[in-house]
């Protein structure tokens, strides 16, 4: 039996790389901010804010203290898990066949991971149960970002302007925005006095990647479950950090009922493939973000 089936082995390195490339294509947060490696025991980040402006000092003049605010933030990885049953022919195939099984599993796992990262980091939900996760706690945009704009369909683009004004008013900056399909449609429907679309690139389900020079991603994770969010705008490049531990454990279980379905694996000629990924994130500058929310 090939070593790839060893209990507690890891995804092949090339599959791990492919997996997180696919995650970037399906996750708004991954698309708008760069990933950094995260060790299993966490990574400490610091926000270092210089409190004053620079000082001009005459020759032989006295220098004064500008002051700085330093706040530590530890990014602790969260374990995401997914498992599925497959035919036990997987167990007896050549290693090339097993790798193809794992490649297909990794592709599906990547898509679910991408959604999971967004759902957990944006809203604090466990993606499967759609309710607040005690593991995530308050480490999410809905909890930490208190600057909000009330959505108005007829002035959706002005809602964006209002959100940016709030962020810049708090001395923040804006690098991108993640919007829901509902908010995209509102922007796509806006027209000028000549009945021409103001944002034609958003029509017909468009996701152009940028809009008016601002990084953009459209994703239904923005308004997932009970969240009232329609758009999240802010400094994703500096105010948000995320990353993953590169070692992705995989387990192949040939016996029992690991998913609690009441159906024995061996009796059904099946095996269970379970993958785990460790992903961490942190919202370092909540004041550099704003959320556009539906009216309550």
Tell me the per-residue pLDDT of 252-284, one tens digit each, with 9 for 90 and over.
888 899 889 999 998 999 988 888 888 999 999
Q: Is the model more confident about 202 or about 55?
A: 202
User: How many whole angstroms separate alpha carbon 228 and alpha carbon 195?
Assistant: 30
φ, ψ (nearest 5 deg) of residue 154: -70, -15
Lowest mean pLDDT across 182-186, 208-212, 243-247:
243-247
Average pLDDT, rounded, for the chain: 86
d(CA 153, CA 160): 11
Taking the C-alpha atoms of residue 204 and residue 273, their distance in angstroms, rounded to an integer, is 38
Q: Is the pLDDT of residue 87 over 80?
A: yes
DSSP secondary structure code for residue 173 in this structure: -
Give me 172's structure tokens: 């923040």
Q: Which regions of the chain does DSSP assign to beta strands (E)?
A: 9-10, 43-50, 68-75, 78-87, 125-126, 131-132, 148-150, 176-179, 210-211, 214-218, 229-234, 240-244, 249-253, 270-283, 289-293
Distances (CA, A) of 223 to 182, 183, 207, 268: 9, 10, 16, 39
Q: Are strands 289-293 and 148-150 parallel, antiparallel or unpaired?
A: parallel
**How remote is the C-alpha of 41 from its chain's centroid?**
20
Spatial distance between the Cα atoms of 90 and 129, rounded to a whole number of angstroms: 30
Q: What are phi and psi of 70, to 5 degrees?
A: -115, 125
Q: What is the DSSP string of 114-139?
A: HHHHHHHHHH-EETTTTEE-TTTTT-
DSSP code, position 212: T
Residue with token string 């050549």 = 94
Q: 7-16, 93-102, 228-237 — which one is most confidently predicted on average?
A: 228-237
Query: 224 near 122, Cβ under 8 Å?
Result: yes
Compare 124 and 16 and report the one with higher pLDDT: 124
Give me the domains of the chain, ranges plus CATH numbers: 3-51+70-293 (3.90.1690)
Phi/psi at 200 (5° precision): -65, -25
What are residue 131's DSSP bridge partners?
A: 126
Q: DSSP assignment, residue 61?
A: P
| Residue with token string 């709030």 | 166
Over residues 194-207, mean pLDDT: 96
pLDDT at 3: 42
On the question of pLDDT at 12 being above 70, the answer is no
State pLDDT tens for residues 24-45. Answer: 668 999 999 988 777 656 666 6
Confidence (pLDDT) at 8: 53
Contact of 281 with 240, CB cutoff 8 Å:
yes
- Report the length, in residues, of the chain: 296
What's phi and psi for 293, nearest 5 deg?
-115, 150
Asked if residue 287 lies in contact with residue 78, where contact means CB atoms within 8 angstroms, the answer is: no
> What is the structure's pLDDT at 192?
95
The residue with greater pLDDT, 89 or 241, is: 241
Share of the chain above pLDDT 90, in %: 54
Tell me the two tokens of residue 12: 């092949």
Q: Helix or strand or coil: residue 233?
A: strand
């Amino acid at each position: 039996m090939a070593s790839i089936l060893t209990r507690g082995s890891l995804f092949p390195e090339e599959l791990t790389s492919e997996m997180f490339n696919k995650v970037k294509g399906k996750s708004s947060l991954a698309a708008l901010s760069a990933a950094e490696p995260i060790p299993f025991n966490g990574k400490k980040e610091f926000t270092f804010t210089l409190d004053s402006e620079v000082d001009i000092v005459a020759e032989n003049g006295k220098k004064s203290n500008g002051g700085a605010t330093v706040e530590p933030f530890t990014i602790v990885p969260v374990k995401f898990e997914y498992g599925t049953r497959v035919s036990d022919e997987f167990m007896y195939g050549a290693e090339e066949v097993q790798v193809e099984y794992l490649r297909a599993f990794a592709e599906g796992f990547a898509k679910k991971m991408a959604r999971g990262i967004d759902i957990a980091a944006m809203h604090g939900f466990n993606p499967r149960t759609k309710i607040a996760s005690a593991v995530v706690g308050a480490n999410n945009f809905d909890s930490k970002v208190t600057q909000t704009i009330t959505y108005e369909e007829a002035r959706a683009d002005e809602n964006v302007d209002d959100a940016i004004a709030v962020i810049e008013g708090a001395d923040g900056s804006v690098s991108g925005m993640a919007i829901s399909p509902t908010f995209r449609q509102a922007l796509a429907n806006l027209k000028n006095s000549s009945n021409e679309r103001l944002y034609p690139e958003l029509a017909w389900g468009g996701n152009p990647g940028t809009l008016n020079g601002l990084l953009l991603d459209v994703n239904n994770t923005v308004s997932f479950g009970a969240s009232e969010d329609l758009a999240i705008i802010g400094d994703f490049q500096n105010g948000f950090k995320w990353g993953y531990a590169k070692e992705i454990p995989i387990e192949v279980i040939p016996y029992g009922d690991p998913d609690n379905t009441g159906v024995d694996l061996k009796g059904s000629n099946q095996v269970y493939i379970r993958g785990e990924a460790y992903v961490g994130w942190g919202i370092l500058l909540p004041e550099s973000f704003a959320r556009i929310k539906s009216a309550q």
